[in-house]
Amino acid sequence: MLKQIGKSLQQTRTARGLTQAELGALVGLPQSHISKIERGETDFQWTTLEQIANAVGLSPILVPTGLVPLVESLMNGREGKSEDEPVPLVGSLTETEG
């Protein structure tokens, strides 16, 4: 799940034209930590995820543990879609309006 969140953050960050350093400056983290988060190589606090997500225009959403298998099955049902297309993190991160 960390890799999926990181991939979504990276794709959204680049779509917004932000570098890792610029995003880090917005949320008070070094570029190296942003890089580790995007690669799914480090765990992070909810508040950190919320700050990063808000900075790139995403909104974190909590999913009850019992629904995680359903959410994962929905995410894995991407048959016929390109691997390069962003993976919407249903139940984890969604685009904010505006």
Q: Residue 74 sits in a domain of what CATH number? A: 1.10.260.40
- pLDDT at 26 (0 to 100): 93
Question: For the residues 63-76, what does the mean pLDDT come to?
Answer: 76
Percent of the chain with pLDDT over 90: 27
What is the mean predicted confidence (pLDDT) over 4-21?
Answer: 90
| 3-state secondary structure at position 22 | helix
3-state secondary structure of 24: helix
DSSP letters, 25-78, are HHHT--HHHHHHHHTT-S---HHHHHHHHHHHTEEE----GGGHHHHHHHHH--
Residue 33's domain spans which residues?
Answer: 2-95
What's the pLDDT at 91? 43
In 3-state terms, what secondary structure has residue 15? helix
Task: List, in sequence order, every residue forming a beta bridge with 93; answer none if it has no partner.
Answer: 60
As given in the structure block, the two tokens for residue 96 are 């904010």
Q: Among 2-11, 22-31, 41-50, 69-78, which stretch is predicted with the lowest mean pLDDT?
A: 69-78
Per the structure, the count of domains in the chain is: 1
